[in-house]
Structure 1
Amino acid sequence: MASVPQYFTHYPNMDSGFPFHLKINTLTKGFPSHRHDYLEFSYVIEGSGNEIINGVTHPMRPGTFTLVMPYQYHEIHPDPGQRLSLYNCNFGIHLYAPGEPIPGIDWQSTEAELPPFVQMSGDGHERMCRILQELMQEYTGSEAWKHALIKAKLMELLVQFDRTRRETASGEAGSQHTSDRTASRGSIWRVIQHIHAHYQEDLTLSGLAERFGFSIPYLSELFKKTIGQNFVTFVHEVRIRQACGLLVSTEMNVSDIALETGYGSYNTFARIFRETKGMTPVAYRKMKAAKPMHEEA
């Protein structure tokens, strides 16, 4: 019997004021199918294997850069006898400002999909290795403007990735990815991005359905199929994650954080927070506030 894919809901620094984590991992056996609600990239530096993203397999070898979107099922398998070493980075959708274009991530696309990976070689491979080394140096360091430079280096990586895959795709005849499923996923990404940008507002399924041209039952079904959660649970998850970041990175009063994250009632906020995190907001702040950004690595 096939195992049920895991759904990961946490990575180091996820609930901090700077949701970013970078690490070099080495795999000697397969990493099973899983998904999560944050963005992830990997870059192979040694060994070989393959990765499966939403049922489509691609090879992995030194120079393979892969960008996994939220909620995509993916798994990695090293070749027999191989040690697969790769950079692995997790970062939140809200690392950049709402509406800010991010290379390689087109929330509104309903066109044929570009592949989620590229194979870098020669000068391109050397450039990616240099950027990643500088990114790791900033991540593990403590110099002024650390977060600003990390965001700039991450943006540079994503630019190189998207340029390369567009150049590669333009040289290939046709697209094998066009489908109604692609159009549906492109549409739901617009709704997801809107929720992340407007979580402070009064959000309703009926209001979003009207705004984005869905029927209420169809949008409800899209949430369950794409995210594996219903609409209300997803909105709470986005708001509580934002609240966690404010609890750790600011000195705001907890009541003000409740209002800032879209909860008109403090009691509702406190109840949802405890149900989600297993503790009160004050206890969470005490537990998390003193940890440096890469301590959880």
Structure 2
Amino acid sequence: MQNRQLGTFPVSAIGLGCMNICHAYGAPVSEAEAERLLRAALDAGVTHFDTAALYGFGVSETLVGKYLSADRSRFTLASKCGMQGVDVTGDGKLVRVIDGRPETIKATCEAALKRLKTDVIDLYYLHRWDKQVPIEDSVGALSDLVRAGKIQAVGLSEVSATTLRKAHAVHPIAAVQTEYSLWTRNPEIAVLDACKALGTAFVAFSPVARGFLCGEMDVSRFDAKDIRRSMPRFSPENYAANAKLLPGYFAIAHEVGCTPSQLAIAWLLHRGDHILPIPGTRTAAHLLDDLGAADVALSADVMARLDALINQHTVVGSRYNAQGNSEVDTEAFAV
């Protein structure tokens, strides 16, 4: 596995997003399956593991800590604060809350360190910018955590180039994490270039377009808790329109000699050396397929054909619904 720079950390070019084992795409996998996936990733040479307080309201961090802490020196650990589960009514039921106040960030970090069974988190992101709190205040709290030795580097998730620059003026931003794939091109508006100019790594989540680029699916059979049910691109009518892009895409994968998921991740790797994809998965088999993308070489002609086939003009539907769009700070293409 080739390496790329994540701030000061050399990490595997392809990392592992640890959301899917307990969050977002229906019922979580069993703990044994989660352990199998995490250990398989480490054994396969993955040295970049990405989790968050939000995922399973602490479950993902707990599993990473339980099964990987004994090998802590072998990988770079990233997690996130600023969006987590909170018991707002006192009945024990947790709800997702965005809270970027300094005191909340510091408390979330302390809880994360315990769940992760570590003394320090290598890269700690603000999961969402709480627009009720100046970004300078939230990043200031993260900077305090660096000085306290609780975290080593600061990251931001789903922010614009303007917000990145404001934050970077307070404390160096090691990485920006945002959805990026053939069908989500928002980072190309400004933040990719801003990252390159500032020496900030760009971490691409959902590199296989939330499964869209892996193969045709029946959106009517999504689990009731699958977050894609609320995403406009996966509505039955929009998905039917978007699925028309897949035969041409699969044909290119066949021509290149790789799987569809490998093609999607390889496209990202070819977009820039400062781009680090973190596919998420629930199985070791899918993980190993994803990692094969590191060995896929794409010609300029293939890259151009992929760009022309799947982009912001050919994909139907917003990536988030109205609420989701209101919670992010990323640039967006005009509709």
Of structures 1 and 2, the larger Rg is shown by 1
Query: Is the structural similarity TM-score above 0.5?
Result: no
